[in-house]
Amino acid sequence: MHHRTSRRTLLTATAATVAAAATGAVSASGAAAASASSSASATKRLKQLISRMSLEEKVGQLFVMRVYGHSATEPDQADIDANLAEIGVRTAAELIAKYHVGGIIYFAWAHNTRDPHQIADLSNGIQRAGLASPTPLPLLISTDQEHGIVCRVGEPATLMPGAMALGAGGSSSDARRAGKIAGTELAAIGINQNYAPDADVNVNPANPVIGVRSFGADPQAVAAMVAAQVKGYQVAGIASTAKHFPGHGDTNTDSHTGLPYIHHTREQWAELDSPPFRAAIAAGIDAIMTAHIVVPALDPAEDPATLSRPILTGILREELGYDGVVVTDSLGMEGVRTKYGDERVPVLALQAGVDQLLNPPNLDVSWNALLAAVKSGEISEARIEESILRILRLKMKLGLFDDPFVTHRGVDRAVGTRAHLATADRIAEHTTTLLTNDGAVLPLSRRSHKNLLVVGADPASPSGTTGPPTTTLATAFGELGYAATALSTGTAPTQAKIAEAVAAAQGKDAVIVGTYNVSATSSQRTLVGALVATGVPVITLAIRNPYDIAQLPTHAASLATYSWTDVELRAAARVIAGRAEPQGRLPVPVQRAGDPTQVLYPVGYGLTY
């Protein structure tokens, strides 16, 4: 009865806040006063709830953890074994009962995201476990659904173009619409927080970890797209998360495997990196994710930003005025583990200004280290209560205290609808960028270019794609009335594969080559050159970073799709076939190979028919 009363109290606070916000009969000043009063009342009730929590429950609320399995209570035996090995529990329900975690993150590789109904059931099971705790609390359930090359929930969910593709489209309305659709579908399956949008400004073509996950290289353009996506997620009723603060766009080191340094001056940071985060805060962003990067100009101690009080408290909290939830990037990444041990990382992160600790490599070590730090007085209980209050406010804002559950009917009405899929196709058509079209070979005429060969790289597919890019493209051309043959030559084609492609090109009217991150030493260059030598028109399609054109020999035409997901490849096929106009414009500059001071194609460049 005690816990049921606590929940009803929170429901009352939520209702009061909503009622105050919805009352249109009062004056503007009266509405503001009513809103402030309701907010103060809700805060008071949340603080009362926190005061009834045990210290162990308080510490647990700060963690967001992975867990294996498609079910909260009955995962497959292999997932039970993985949970026991990595976490010391069998199931998600046991994880919540033992560690009182405040959130769960879903991954496809953890077998959390098989299909929409299963995901909804898993989410409901997690919420039931949270409400069965000594202090009943709903959980924040999160995932990385950036779209493009980073997707955890695949088809039949609607897959949208990724950030750089949206940047190429240049439409804030499209970005907002994509966020709304993505958020609506995530909400329907019980995922209430998305770790998107990416607010990094990708000014380094060699960036190995951000690249097409960024909207582009222009800080103001990226800021506009970030703000639009935030608004879209807000309409959908889920929390969005701008990442990776203070900006991960200018590095050639992957923070998953090392500790990147960014040598921007304070002035360069203010000009290049901060605008998208400022825009996200102005748009009402619910959470901001930290970066495991060192920026000496922002913290001379050279601590990674995740553990840097000058960056997270001094800049993010005090200078930018942000008072929402701050969540770390995954604590299993090497970038945050390089300088300090795993038992120190959560303590230092809280001291720096973090609220949520995401996916530590060893939860027991991190959880007990933080518990010990509070018991010893290294971190005050008041300090962790500040973070818990922010977390609970977010849960209240999302309506989780009211009703955290979802239904199969709701899934069927929202996920992968015909209208959503059609919108994704339209948005994708706005993003495909035509870079060269020598001799106006494009669009391909079915009369003179009926027989096509599709060759090229077939990298591991993002979640939800139906097949390798060559197969997807060939199928798309077939549906448009062409005779198309697919031949995978890989990201590093051998001489034998190149010879096979040259032989296959004989008698074809055109060859489409999917290229993937072509470097100066890549044999993909040799492949394109050999195909050009056949005399058959060669069209290249950069299926990830748009910089490939600078490394390739002269050929008939070149396009960029910014990802190899089905929606973007189908749109590219329609553009090549003339069923849609190429409307995309480069959101990043393409520099001359071997001389980055020379720009071949500037930001905003793109051809039309």
Q: What is the pLDDT of residues 45-70, one digit of tens each?
A: 999 999 999 999 999 999 999 999 99
Handedness of CA 373, 375, 378, 383 (dihedral sign): positive
Structure tokens at 419: 């209208």
DSSP 330: P
- CATH number of the domain that 484 lies in? 3.40.50.1700
Residue 173 lies in a domain: yes
Torsion of CA 446, 471, 545, 305, to 10 degrees: 150
Residue 70 lies in a domain: no
Report for 12-16, 203-207, 491-495: range of highest mean pLDDT = 491-495
Verify whether residue 79 is a known catalytic residue: no
- Do strands 140-143 and 103-106 pair parallel, antiparallel, or not at all (unpaired)? parallel
Helix (H) or strand (E) holding 538: strand 538-542
Taking residues 110-127, report their average pLDDT. Answer: 97
Residue 491 lies in a domain: yes
Which residues are CB-neighbours of 315 under 8 A, at least 6 positions away?
246, 298
Taking residues 505-509, report their average pLDDT. Answer: 96
- Residues 164 and 266 reside in one and the same domain: yes
The alpha carbons of the chain give a radius of gyration, in whole angstroms, of 25
Residue 189 lies in a domain: yes
- Residues 252 and 381 reside in one and the same domain: yes
- Residues 40 and 184 reside in one and the same domain: no
What is the reported pLDDT for 463? 63
What is the reported pLDDT for 439? 84
Of 341, 324, 290, nearest in space to 394 by CA: 324
Is residue 47 helix, strand or coil? helix
Task: From the candidates 329, 458, 509, 548, give the one annotated as an active-site residue.
Answer: 329
Task: From the candidates 256, 342, 364, 425, give the one annotated as an active-site residue.
Answer: 256
> Is residue 289 within 8 Å of residue 302, measured between CB atoms?
no
Number of residues in the chain: 609
pLDDT tens readout for residues 508-564: 999 999 999 999 999 999 999 999 999 999 999 999 999 999 999 999 999 999 999
- Residues 406 and 451 reside in one and the same domain: no
Last residue of a domain, one of 379, 414, 449: 414
Query: Model confidence at 594, in pLDDT bands (50, 70, 90)?
Result: confident
- Residues 387 and 476 reside in one and the same domain: no
Verify whether residue 70 is a known catalytic residue: no
Total domains, the chain: 3
pLDDT at 207 over 50: yes
- Residues 251 and 356 reside in one and the same domain: yes
pLDDT tens readout for residues 355-399: 999 999 999 999 999 999 999 999 999 999 999 999 999 999 999
Query: Model confidence at 596, in pLDDT bands (50, 70, 90)?
Result: confident
What is the reported pLDDT for 6? 39
Taking residues 195-222, report their average pLDDT. Answer: 95
Instruction: Please state, in angstroms and rounded to a whole number, the distance separating the CA atoms of residues 506 and 332.
Output: 50
Last residue of a domain, one of 52, 73, 95: 52
Residue 420 lies in a domain: no
- Residues 451 and 531 reside in one and the same domain: yes
Query: Model confidence at 465, in pLDDT bands (50, 70, 90)?
Result: low
> Is residue 571 within 8 Å of residue 166, measured between CB atoms?
no
Query: Model confidence at 180, in pLDDT bands (50, 70, 90)?
Result: very high
Residue 460 lies in a domain: yes
- Residues 366 and 469 reside in one and the same domain: no
Residue 130 lies in a domain: no
Torsion of CA 399, 403, 407, 413, to 10 degrees: -30
- Residues 471 and 391 reside in one and the same domain: no
Residue 469 lies in a domain: yes
Can you give the residue range of the structural domain that contains 7? Answer: 1-52
Of 61, 13, 76, nearest in space to 39 by CA: 13
What is the reported pLDDT for 478? 96
Query: Model confidence at 446, in pLDDT bands (50, 70, 90)?
Result: confident
Which residues are CB-neighbours of 397 under 8 A, at least 6 positions away?
239, 286
- Residues 479 and 346 reside in one and the same domain: no
What is the reported pLDDT for 23? 32
- Residues 241 and 332 reside in one and the same domain: yes
Of 402, 412, 406, nearest in space to 123 by CA: 406
Q: Look-up: residue for tokens 């097949």? A: 467
Q: Look-up: residue for tokens 């009362």? A: 48
What is the reported pLDDT for 33? 55
- Residues 402 and 308 reside in one and the same domain: yes
Report which residue type is found at 81: D
